[in-house]
Structure formats: C-alpha cells, structure tokens
C-alpha cells in the first residue's frame, strides 16, 4: 500500500485538495486487497455482496426482481387472459457515517523519529476501515438466521430439525461431538439448490454467485457456485472427516483455487473457505462465546428489522461455531464508493497533525419484503443465506 502512496505528492496536500482525494482512493483499493469478501462483491444481482452507491444518509431501498412464476399463454390465447405478476422485493437500509482519526506526536518529535505521519496514519486507518466493514458483513450474516443446517455426529451428518419451531431451537440441539462434516455441507447445498428449509418444507432456491478474479497469468476466471464460509474450528473438523480427505485426493485443482483467499477445498463445485475466527485483533466468523456487546457494537440495529440475535442465542450448553452457505445477493452494501480523508495541522496550536477517515456505509443481510403486499415465500426470510451450526471444539 505504501508503494501506492509514494506515487502521491503528499507534500502538496495544503495547496492541492486532490491529494486527500487520491489518498482516499488508495485507502479504498487497499482495504479490499486483504478482504475475503472482495472476490464476490459488485453491482450485479449475481454477486454475493451487492453494492449500491448513494450520496447521502437518507434511507435507501435496494430492489430485487423475483422470478416470474406464471404459466403464460398458449395458442391463440390473448396475453390479457393470463398476465404474470412482476414481484418487486425490497428492504430499507439506513446508511451511517463511520470514521476514525489519529493525532500525531509533537511535530519535532515526529521528525526526530523519522516518521512520515501521514503515510503511517493512512496505512493504519486503511486497516481500521477494512476491519469495521468486514465485521459488519459477518454480524449481518449471523443475525436472525431463518434457515440452517445443524451438524450431527451420527450417520446422517446433520440433525433432523423438522419438529423445531425456530432456527434458534434447532441450533440449540448441538451437543459435543457434532462437528462439521461433508454430509452436513452437502445437505446445505441440496437445500439451496432445491429450495427447502430446515423444516424440510418448500421455500425457494438460492441463486449461485458469480465470482471472478484474475488468476496467475492474467486470465480472468469466472465461477458460478455457492460459497461455504467456515470458521477455523469448522475447517479443521472438516479436514479430519475421512470423506473429505478422500474427496480432496481426486478433487478439482487448478484455476478455481486462485479465486479465493483461505480456500480449503471444493465440494460439489462449491468453494469451502476458512474465514478465520473472530477475535479482538482479527476479523473472522462469530461463535457463541463472542460477547453480545462485541456483536452489538459491530452491527447497525436499524438495518436488522428489529430482530437482534447475538451469537450466544444459538447455543445451549455446548458452544457453537456459525458458518454459512451464501448465494447471490446474500449481503447488501449501500454507501459511498470511496471514503473521505482529512488532514488537519491546526491541533494543539499547530504543533500536531490529525489524519482522519470516514465513509457513508450501510451493510445488511438481504431480507426482502414484497412491495406489492402480496404473500411471498421471500417475506422476512434470508434471501440467500443458510447457517451451518456445529460444535465449537
């Protein structure tokens, strides 16, 4: 990242306001380079994280068209005898400005220590922006799950949850030894493709994601699939499953493996990604032992429809890990395309410099309503997310 900053004439920031704009653009680009969400974000409906550019903090309603389900007409029948219904799905999200700043030591001390404060501050603020954004993605995914697969240590690999009244009830069936396994992941893929929920009842199929990134050699690889996101506990459990070990010996190799950071392997054409474990020092997937306050501080309560479900709610006596299968438009990101960067040298009678960054942003899990008011299978349901619950051990 500092290489990019070296191309900017930082010394001219007082006279040239475009310097701050160029720094902001550098921050945006660099913040995505280390993010595991980068390969599947974009403007289209077929991206895992769908982005919308807005200029202000007014409430915004992302829209999505549901699939036409009418029978159409045949032969000489007139169109008006059987019009289809164009179902427009939408949800309301509320962008907020988030920001942070750093104050330098006294300028003379900075010169003695040979620190280029603007460069160092830019790098640290880039890491902060990425951390806040990626944590918001993960808290949004984890909150108020409406569909789930619960891993089981018995032969089926997943629990029968047809009698449970809610996802929380289903996930609380987890006991020690219910580790992540191939059968459970295949069950999640089957549920996504066939459109059934944790009660084994019809819901709606989930569309796969288009993921693309330049591979080695500069060839762009495009892949349509679901993504399976696991924490490190789940990934290690999976690696110990004999069925997984056998699959990887004869599995897909080559170009697809260049699409994603943290790729564990491929199952039924779906990449399995180790997203790490949430800690104070790194972004990763949540588990039930993460404090409720840590979860709440990283989610915008306005964007969850009044239903706040901390990760502790999914566990009974046995701690659980929370992974996901995600498809197209699983997450919605609304806000400015780039952050704003500020430099102020008037602090402490001009002895110190403050560098700050902020951006307009709203992140939510796609959970659409039907704008027409008609009964819809999509109503108040995760549009493209299935939770994967396993014992944290």
Same-domain status, 128 and 218: no
Between 361 and 353, the more confident residue is 361
| Same-domain status, 166 and 98 | no
pTM of the model: 0.88
As a whole number of angstroms, the distance between CA 333 and CA 42 comes to 9
- 78, exposed or middle or buried, with CB in 10 Å at 0-12, 13-18, 19+? exposed
Which tens digit of pLDDT belongs to each residue from 122-181? 999 999 999 999 999 999 999 999 999 999 999 899 999 999 999 999 999 999 999 999
Q: How far is CA 252 from CA 161, 175, 182, 237, 248, in A?
A: 32, 33, 16, 20, 8
**112 and 254 inside one domain:** no
Looking at the structure, tell me whether residues 154 and 104 fall in a common domain.
no
Domain of 79? 2-41+49-67+75-139+333-370
Report the distance separating Cα 280 and Cα 29, nearest Å. Answer: 24
Same domain, 295 and 343: no
Extract the tokens encoding 19.
């310097």
Residues 173 and 306 in one domain: yes
Kindly tell me if the per-residue pLDDT of 216 is higher than 60. Answer: no
The reply to whether 224 and 362 lie within a common domain is no
What pLDDT, in 10s, does the model give residues 274-288?
999 999 999 999 999
DSSP 294: H
Paired strand residues for 64: 89
> Do 110 and 217 have their domain in common?
no
Do both 123 and 257 map to the same domain?
A: no
Single out the residue of 138, 199, 196, 141 nearest to residue 166, CA to CA.
Answer: 199
Same domain (yes/no): 180, 88: no
The total number of structural domains in the chain stands at 2
CATH number at residue 111: 3.30.2400
Are 99 and 206 part of one and the same domain?
A: no
Same domain membership, residue 242 and residue 216: yes
Choice between 373 and 202, residue whose per-residue pLDDT is larger: 202
């Amino acid at each position: 990242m500092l290489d990019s900053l070296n191309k900017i004439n930082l010394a001219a920031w007082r006279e040239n306001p475009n310097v701050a704009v160029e720094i902001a653009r550098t921050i945006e680009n660099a913040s995505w380079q280390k993010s595991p969400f980068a390969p599947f974000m974009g403007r289209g409906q077929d991206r895992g994280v769908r982005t919308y550019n807005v200029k202000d903090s007014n409430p915004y309603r992302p829209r999505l068209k549901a699939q036409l389900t009418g029978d159409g007409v045949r032969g000489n029948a007139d169109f008006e005898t059987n019009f289809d219904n164009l179902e427009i799905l939408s949800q309301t999200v509320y962008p907020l400005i988030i920001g942070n700043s750093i104050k330098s030591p006294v300028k003379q001390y900075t010169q003695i220590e040979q620190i280029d404060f603007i460069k160092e501050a830019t790098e640290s603020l880039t890491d902060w922006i990425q951390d806040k954004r990626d944590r918001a993605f993960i808290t949004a995914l984890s909150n108020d799950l409406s569909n789930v697969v619960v891993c089981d240590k018995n032969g089926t690999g997943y629990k029968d949850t047809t009698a449970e009244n809610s996802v929380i009830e289903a996930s609380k069936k987890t006991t020690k030894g219910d580790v992540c396994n191939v059968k459970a992941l295949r069950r999640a893929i089957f549920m996504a493709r066939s459109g059934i929920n944790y009660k084994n009842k019809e819901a709606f199929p989930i569309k796969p994601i288009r993921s693309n990134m330049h591979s080695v050699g500069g060839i762009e690889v495009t892949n349509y699939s679901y993504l399976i996101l696991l924490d490190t506990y789940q990934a290690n459990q999976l690696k110990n499953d004999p069925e997984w070990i056998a699959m990887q010996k004869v599995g897909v190799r080559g170009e697809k493996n260049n699409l994603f950071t943290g790729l564990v392997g491929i199952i039924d054409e779906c990449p399995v990604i180790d997203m790490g474990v949430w800690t104070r020092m790194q972004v990763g997937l949540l588990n039930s032992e993460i404090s409720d306050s840590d979860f709440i501080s990283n989610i915008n309560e306005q964007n969850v429809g009044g239903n706040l479900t901390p990760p502790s709610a999914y566990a009974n006596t046995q701690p659980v890990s929370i992974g996901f299968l995600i498809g197209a438009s699983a997450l919605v990101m609304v806000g400015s395309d780039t952050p704003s960067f500020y430099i102020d040298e008037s602090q402490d009678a001009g002895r110190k410099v403050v560098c700050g960054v902020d951006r307009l942003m709203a992140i939510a899990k796609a959970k659409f309503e039907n704008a027409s008011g008609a009964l819809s299978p999509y109503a108040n349901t995760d549009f493209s997310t299935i939770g994967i619950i396993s014992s944290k051990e």
